[in-house]
Copies of this chain bind each other. A is one copy, B any other.
Amino acid sequence: MKVITTIEGMRAYREEQQDRSVGFVPTMGYLHEGHMSMVESSTKENDRTVVSIFVNPLQFGPDEDFDNYPRNFERDRKIAESYGADAVFYPSTEEMYPRKRTISLNVIDRTDVLCGPSRPGHFEGVATVIVKLLQIIQPGRMYLGQKDAQQVAVLEGLVADFNIPTEIIPCPTVREEDGLAKSSRNVNLTEQERKEAPFLYKSLKQAEKMAEKGERDPEAIKAEITKMIQENTSGTIDYREVLSYPYLKPATPEDEKWICAVAVYFQHARLIDNIILTISQKGESI
């Protein structure tokens, strides 16, 4: 497996693969099974798989956990290699952002909900680094975790709006045995918080049960999610939302799919999770 730290080096590697299909898994490192299932999907579907490891300062707010974000490149390198990645792109911040930018991106849709309000500038930062990575790596397919459902929605808009020749492949959320969604941020939980954290998913499964029994009032479902998280964790709810999917508009019984999504602040980590529910059978599923 190649470790590439410069844009020029990455372009040269890509040039060598010219006639081969390339899959791309963008990450901020501290790889876990969620990432690895994406790498596995990519290795099955492409001749070459490139994993990027870059903690992107642009997508962190001033009060967010950029400094606190876990980093361990040697560990990541070994994991990526063991799962069959062909190359790791591991640039420095200076390599990716060498000078003051002259152009910025504005995400004008799908960001007024969920993580948008509490993370101003976050999706702009994500979109910016992804545009750059897609131009440098030029993959045919990019693998994204469905756990970051809003990120998937925003990046699907990006790729469509700018005609970027990369297909987005959303990958199912990988979970611990107790249901907690795998996340690099989980290591920042205290022992007690780690025991409480599975209640994010439990509250979403409860929402799923309610919907299966015919509940179509988003407010009733939201109230139940709130209750379960408040009664079972020491965290502070950032949001719990029930929205149409993938449009992220207010949920109605006519929607084909809903997304139930939660974000909870613990002491040193903000965790998110979501579940997609099939509501109306009218149309084709998406």
Binding site for B on A (CB under 8 A): 7, 11, 18-19, 99-110, 127-128, 131-132, 135-136, 138, 154, 157-158, 160-165
Residues of B within 8 A of A109 (CB): 100-103
What is the bound-complex CA distance between A106 and B105, given in angstroms? 6
> What are 8 A-B interface contacts by the 8 Å CB criterion?
A101-B161, A102-B108, A102-B161, A104-B106, A105-B106, A132-B161, A132-B162, A136-B165
Residues of B within 8 A of A135 (CB): 162-165
Are the CB atoms of B164 and A103 closer together than 8 Å? no
- 5 additional A-B pairs beyond A102-B108, A132-B162, A135-B163, beta carbons within 8 Å, are A99-B160, A103-B108, A103-B127, A132-B161, A136-B163
Q: Can you tell how many copies of this chain the complex includes?
A: 2
What is the bound-complex CA distance between A65 and B195, given in angstroms? 64
What is the bound-complex CA distance between A106 and B128, given in angstroms? 12
A211 to chain B, nearest CB (A): 27
Q: Quick one: closest B residue to A7, CB to CB?
A: B163
Given A18-B18, A132-B162, A138-B165: A106 and B103 interface contact (C-beta under 8 Å): yes
What is the bound-complex CA distance between A25 and B247, given in angstroms? 37
What is the bound-complex CA distance between A220 and B244, given in angstroms? 62
Q: Quick one: closest B residue to A137, CB to CB?
A: B163
Residues of B within 8 A of A136 (CB): 163, 165
Residues of B within 8 A of A132 (CB): 161-163
Of B102, B110, B138, which contacts A110 at CB under 8 A? Answer: B102
A197 to chain B, nearest CB (A): 32
A13 to chain B, nearest CB (A): 13
